[in-house]
Amino acid sequence: MHVLVTGAAGMIGRKLIQRIADEPQLFGHPVTRLTEHDIVRPETPETANFAVETVGGDLAEPAIASKTLADRPDLIFHLAAVVSGEAEADFEKGYAANLDGTRNLLEAVRAAGDRYQPRFVFSSSIAVFGAPLPDRIPDDFFCTPLTSYGTQKAVGELLLSDYTRRGILDGIGIRLPTICVRPGAPNKAATGFFSNIIREPLAGKEAVLPVDESVRHWFASPRSAVGFLVHAATLDTASVGPRRNLNMPGVSATVAEQIEALRAVAGDRVVELIRRERDPQIERLVGGWARDFAPERALELGFRADRSFEEIVRVHVEDEHGGEVGSR
């Protein structure tokens, strides 16, 4: 099996590729070849026992999309994207990466020939929903994004459904919760502070909390996100039907509950590294974000997420700190 991962240098891309390298039978057929795509050169996993090729360049350029699809991979994970805050700040860059890049990749699949119909897993987002929102969002709630990023992802979902309907590919879109705790340095995502207030204190650094502790949001760990992608790749899509985009399961938690989960795992000294500094602009953004979901379709189809926010913190400690935290 030949697998392609776009956005391979990103956090989720790296973790997905490492899991494929560690479990080459993950998809029911042995992975014999992996193509990694990103604008920057992604790392090749040392444990891979199959051929790994890297393709660089911007998918917003049709020639790069065609080059990336040249050898007709059997399974495509399309993760390449500009994150929410950056897409909002740079209108042209957001549409080029998140919409043009997706359309070019889909068109490259179509150009590859009638007998080529790969599984295409599209990484979407709960940003496709916008206020006014119910306290708990059901599967049949309509998409009314209030950001450029959410709009770009919503258009990508529509394209995925239409290319699937026409038999060009076998697509499934997964609307990821906010992924927390993201390892590494802070990024430009508007939701970044949710990770910052956990990750930085666990590393012995101060973190700024820009919103009230009553703010509630929808989360999943990076480990769960990779699990969603893998399950989407192996799912019998006949059971999904024509509605190919799914709300993923997650954990609904307030900032206060996040902090108490951090306290339960790492103690008071770590929690004391969180500094409150309200930011009215971020608070306005947060007011339009989804707080909770009832993802019944995804659960019925076998998708599973973390059971609590404390579990999300413990996953981060296990995966990024070797299972240990500093003195409590």
Which sequence positions are flagged as catalytic? 149
Cβ neighbours of residue 318 closer than 8 Å, sequence gap 6 or more: none
Structural element, H or E, at residue 51: strand 51-56
Residue 14 CA to residue 182 CA, distance in Å, equals 12
Task: Using DSSP, state whether 78 is helix, strand or coil.
Answer: strand
- Using CB atoms within 10 Å of the CB of residue 113, give its burial: 0 to 12 exposed, 13 to 18 middle, 19+ buried: exposed
Beta strands in 111-256 (DSSP E): 119-125, 137-138, 170-176, 178-179, 207-209, 216-220, 245-247, 251-254
Residue 318 CA to residue 315 CA, distance in Å, equals 5
**Whether 26 contacts 230, CB under 8 Å:** yes
**Whether 225 contacts 179, CB under 8 Å:** yes
Query: Considering only CA atoms, which of 218, 126, 118 is closest in space to residue 172?
Result: 118
Give the residues across from 247 on adjacent strands.
Answer: 175
Residue 18 CA to residue 36 CA, distance in Å, equals 12
Residues in the chain: 328
Residue 294 CA to residue 134 CA, distance in Å, equals 11
Residue 19 CA to residue 250 CA, distance in Å, equals 21
Give the residues across from 138 on adjacent strands.
Answer: 294
Residue 171 CA to residue 163 CA, distance in Å, equals 8
